[in-house]
Chain A
């Protein structure tokens, strides 16, 4: 049973629940106490000791159900195939009534088991073979074939094949029965491997997919990837929130808060036993985001706005502006509507024109320059391709002088900056930070740095 628990821990890790050695020891002790008799209690016990949040409880509960349903599934298929072979048997029975039903002694162990339809023995042999092939190490779906082969080898498929050949020559009806049973066995093994993949391989597969997704260029996603990317962005937002939402107070040693100290020590006649120190108040970020939504940059802007606007707990105030030919404020649209609707509305208002950075900056200066204060971080997201119009870098300079920081995120690679109609070199002179921002990973790092600058 201990083996079984260890395997369950591994499955739990596969399901994304972090089971540390200490927790597994606790779980072992707890299970030793409550026993295996009552499945509901066992489930509660494992949930209590291993899962440490509601999400984990959900995941672990599902994993538990999947894990402990395994023997039953196997039973079902076993009854099925025994029914099949029973049917085959009754067919065959008509022709071979005179012959002995018992398997001939010269057959191999596995063949004997199959012929005798000894279900429990087969199940045990399967479990042993799975152990021998270390099935719980399975990680990727491409490994299914290998593991199935290994398990069959451990079961002794080679001997079974020999037996089958021998029977084919000598006793065709028996051979037919054995063939059917072998097929059923293969089916069982395949099913077992699939289930194991589901149990143990999920995390790796997810990780792999996430890793690929994180490094995929945002501007050239396939349609089916867009949904996954949205989920990924939400996960990133959650991570950033967890990291930065807690207002941390840092004590500033060296600056005595005299009034507070005197008050605290009034009981001892003002002799300062307890000292109070001044605390520094930390600001939350204020962000003004200017996003180019023309052509190729649109999708990156989309994800960027989605991310920024799901950071309410971390960021005090966000004002977003979208531009291509001209510039409008989009904060309200983003806050009041679902991301899809909001993006559609923004696109219909300003999207897909040819971009005019100079004109858009002029719009911003005219209408919204007051929103930039010394506490604000201004983020411009765009490729700085001005279509050879006046870049109006002077406005960017004004913004930069008013703001705490000016960050420029450019989806194009550094190599392309300054080529053709890109005005990046001219703009970057006024930016505190210039970054490339083409993938989810770069996006996360950029936003994380922006927020961290306030910590």
Chain B
């Protein structure tokens, strides 16, 4: 084992992500650090709105790399994810080059001689010029490296997962007509999943598995602080305290960090310096996305506000 101050480097990751506006827990920082050290993709799972996609953006911003994003959906296939032949261009070129072809082949006496000459030109129409690179191939071709974000992989089909395996383990893709294209610089790959379906073991095995849940109260306050600058400390504590209580309820969709941030922004816009139950009731629809959830929460608002207020004073 080598002891080249690894803790320091993990801290460096935390600092770097913070400079890009992403407050990372230690687990997230460790994951990013390891992903770079042992060159493995990160598979991020967790509920919607806890900053899975944001992590990739922050990482790209911090490293000054280009971020290539691939949004997955049902029916996504090779042609949209990897590469496609530019059929129209191929067709156009054959039309234009028709005369030229005639010229080249003009001298040939027999059919086999013409074929012979044609072979000399090689596969002109199946060369790099005619490949339309899609996100995955683009990511491999970046000269400076990049952050490849494969977003919501759970939405795609199982076949697509298998397609990803080659890229994830060897950072290369095979195009039948051209051969294997390897990465110029290995990209940092981040996959996100909402857990809509279970991913295959083969995919999971190739990744570091990071689960981001709802953050602790302290961490969430810091996140709000970095994302919503003009917010007072007491209001921040109250908001976070309130939301933590809402998360304890049995709701259809629990409010996550992105909702916290939105709500904080709304409250700042409304210039409220303190949580009171009137404002909360008016703005609850920012926080909760289902009518039934709002109905469940409404009767509790007053007591939650009171509790959050007390926390604000002591915390």
Contact = CB atoms under 8 A, between A and B. Distances in A.
Interface of A: 1, 18, 20, 22-23, 26, 29-38, 40-41, 44-45, 47-49, 51-54, 57, 242, 245-246, 248-249, 267-268, 271, 273
Given A41-B10, A249-B157, 11 more contacts: A20-B205, A33-B37, A48-B27, A48-B30, A48-B34, A49-B34, A53-B198, A53-B209, A57-B209, A267-B88, A271-B91
A41 B30 contact: yes
Interface of B: 1-3, 6-7, 10, 26-27, 30-31, 33-34, 37-38, 40, 45, 87-88, 91, 157-158, 197-198, 201, 204-205, 208-211
A26 B197 contact: no
A273 B198 CA distance: 35
Contact of B7 (A30, A31, A37, A245): A37
Contacts of B197: 245-246
A34 B211 contact: no
B205 A52 contact: yes
Given A26-B38, A26-B40, A44 B87 contact: no
A54 B198 contact: no
A41 to B, nearest CB: 6
B303 to A, nearest CB: 28
Contacts of B37: 30, 33
Given A26-B38, A54-B45, A54-B211, A32 B2 contact: yes
A267 B92 CA distance: 12
29 contacts: A26-B38, A26-B40, A30-B38, A32-B1, A33-B34, A35-B3, A36-B1, A38-B7, A40-B26, A41-B7, A41-B10, A41-B26, A45-B30, A45-B34, A48-B30, A48-B31, A48-B209, A49-B34, A49-B209, A52-B201, A52-B204, A52-B205, A52-B209, A54-B211, A57-B211, A246-B197, A248-B158, A268-B87, A271-B91
Among A18, A33, A35, A267, the one with the most B-chain Cβ atoms within 10 Å of its Cβ is A33
Given A23-B205, A53-B209, A31 B87 contact: no
Nearest to B6: A34
Secondary structure at chain B's binding surface: helix, strand, loop or mixed? helix
Given A26-B40, A246-B158, A34 B34 contact: yes
Contact of A268 (B2, B30, B40, B91): B91
A294 B6 CA distance: 67
A157 B87 CA distance: 82
A57 B210 CA distance: 10
Contacts of A53: 198, 204, 209
Contacts of A1: 1
B27 A31 contact: no
A1 B33 CA distance: 22
A34 B30 contact: yes
Nearest to A269: B91
A81 to B, nearest CB: 33
B30 A51 contact: no
Given A41-B7, A44-B26, A49 B88 contact: no
Contacts of B3: 35, 37
